[in-house]
Structure 1
Amino acid sequence: MRLLEGQVALVTGASGGIGRGVALRFAEQGAAVALHCRTAVAAAREVASRIEDMGARAVVLEAELRDEAECRRLVRAAAEWAAAGWGGSLTTLVNNAGVQPTQPLPGMTAAQWREVVDTNLTSVFACTQAAAEVMGPGGSVTHIASIEASRPAPEHAHCSASKAAVVMHARSAALEYGPQGIRVNTVSPGLIDREGLARAWPEGVERWTRRAPLGRLGRPEDVADACVFLASPLASWITGHDLVVDGGVSAGAAW
């Protein structure tokens, strides 16, 4: 039996990278998937087509997640799609959408700070709040955080701060939504491979590979498998937890 049979999942930022991997893995495990995108509609539709080729259900929904009203509209549209299509309900939310620009802290503007925080954190708050209003007992929310939540990187102060806040939001939400039977967790990836990364940042890839006990970069599927686990009945007594998926880098010596 597939782990997510009968579930309906909303995955934000599902047009590429980790979000694409999560959406495809959820469909493989039996879930119907609502794929959110902001502007990459063609890429999201390609993911939806692949899901439908598996015999699963998919829909593409557009929204600007820096806008609270848009977050609420997105969740409502996913819930209405589930209800109208086959009488289902939204059971799972994966808050994956995010940005990771680089900017030295001394020259960072408040506008640059807010763009990252609104995208990475405020959208998580608004989407989770909206999803909890339509989910029943057994609902699951997973935020995609980062190992940068506890291990900051140069020029990533806004990103690291937003991801640390995402981890604490999940713990707070786990406390407050637990009585409704809704679980909230985070997955914190390390460096995930993407097309062109080794060419664009060869020294960083080499450093990571050398430090990782498992000797490689992560793949979107590695993060997706962690999300499947947290959304599945196998994790029915797990909430408020941060699942680190980094090939063991965080276990390494700091000096």
Structure 2
Amino acid sequence: MNHPERFRATRVLVTGGSRNIGRAIVERFAAEGAHVAINGVVPGEAEDLADELRAAGHTAVPVPADVSDANQVDQMLTLVCAELGGIDVLINNAAVPLLGRVPFFDLTLAQWDRQFDVGARGTYLCTHAAAQRMGPGGNVINISSVGATKAHRSAVAYDASKGAIEAFTRAAALELATHGIRVNAIAPGAISNARFQALEASVQEREVAPIPLGYAGSGDDVAGVAAFLASTDAAYITGQVITVDGGLSAQARQASSEIEIDSTTDGAA
């Protein structure tokens, strides 16, 4: 349920905010009155979403940057503060998606590095730059994955990078608590996207069979938790990881999936 005035004039930056989970988070915060900065690397996507939101009466600015590049991140945060007057909430959603499985002995160093550069390094760089510009009440929300604690087969780099993000979340929460800044994470499970929706019905049924609630989640499911964590209702919550997976990780044994339907954003933004 949206609360149109809950984040009135709150300044929010969402990395990887132009598609999938990131887009849903951007739209949720805008609908609740936030001024949103949309990061992305796919040409035109962040700009198009910002145009849509502005046409609907919201405040939105595109801020393209590669989150693995320290100089670009610093320039992005400078731009966000110039355009919005500061930053209150950072949502680290940028990731290299788990679109294909790579067996352990086929994994290249370049693939490993790219996962960590965008995911773990990007989360650190953006948090470090944003926290310096936040006052007490600042809020950082990192997007992890159930893969951080329940490994996917043939996804060593992806799962390891998500595990690093969760460890970073706890450590950063301790460091930044004295500055009045909270740091939490969300671990989505199977989140439906266009690729999943294009599958035959029988394949979709097989993929959701291991999920206790019986269906793949949506970006809105993750966005709702992000809005809660950013709100005053979560004022005493920090250093935590909230799992959003329809009960998938609660069971003792899960069927293995051949098709990845986690829809974290692609690219380095």
TM-score category (smaller protein):
over 0.9
Instruction: Give the aligned partner of residue 25 of structure 1.
Output: 28
Task: Give yes or no for contact 1:24–1:47 (8 Å, CA) kept in 2.
Answer: no
Instruction: Give the aligned partner of residue 71 of structure 1.
Output: 73
The structure 2 residue matched to 1:93, chosen from 90, 93, 102, is: 90
Residue identity (%): 35
Moved more, 98-107 or 126-135: 98-107
Aligned residues: 249
Whether 2:3 is the aligned partner of 1:4: answer no
What SS is found at the alignment partner of 2:81?
Answer: helix
Whether 2:217 is the aligned partner of 1:214: answer no
Task: Give yes or no for contact 1:28–1:54 (8 Å, CA) kept in 2.
Answer: no
**Superposition TM-score, scaled by structure 2 size:** 0.88
How far has the Cα of 1:105 moved from its partner? 1.3
**Gap change, CA 1:206 and 1:48, over 3 Å in 2:** same
Instruction: Give the aligned partner of residue 60 of structure 1.
Output: 62
What SS is found at the alignment partner of 2:187?
Answer: strand
Q: Distance in 1 between matches of 2:221 and 2:93?
A: 14
Task: Give yes or no for contact 2:67–2:118 (8 Å, CA) kept in 1.
Answer: yes
Which residues of structure 1 form unaligned runs of 5+? 84-88
Q: Distance in 2 between matches of 1:230 and 1:153?
A: 27
**Greater helix fraction, Structure 1 or Structure 2:** 1
1:183-202 Cα deviation digits (max 9, x unpaired): 00000001111113144587
**Gap change, CA 1:56 and 1:152, over 3 Å in 2:** same
How far has the Cα of 1:45 moved from its partner? 2.1
**Superposition TM-score, scaled by structure 1 size:** 0.92
Task: Give yes or no for contact 1:11–1:19 (8 Å, CA) kept in 2.
Answer: yes
What SS is found at the alignment partner of 1:134?
Answer: coil
1:68-104 Cα deviation digits (max 9, x unpaired): 2212221221112112xxxxx2000000010124321
Task: Give yes or no for contact 1:52–1:58 (8 Å, CA) kept in 2.
Answer: yes
Which residues of structure 2 form unaligned runs of 5+? 255-269
The structure whose RCO (Cα within 8 Å, separation 6+) is larger is 2
Moved more, 200-209 or 23-32: 200-209
Letter aligned with residue 138 of structure 1: G
What SS is found at the alignment partner of 1:143?
Answer: strand
Task: Give yes or no for contact 1:3–1:228 (8 Å, CA) kept in 2.
Answer: no
**Gap change, CA 1:36 and 1:159, over 3 Å in 2:** same
The alignment's C-alpha RMSD in Å is 1.7
Q: Distance in 1 between matches of 2:232 and 2:8?
A: 10
What SS is found at the alignment partner of 1:141?
Answer: strand
Q: Distance in 1 between matches of 2:138 and 2:212?
A: 34
What SS is found at the alignment partner of 2:61?
Answer: strand
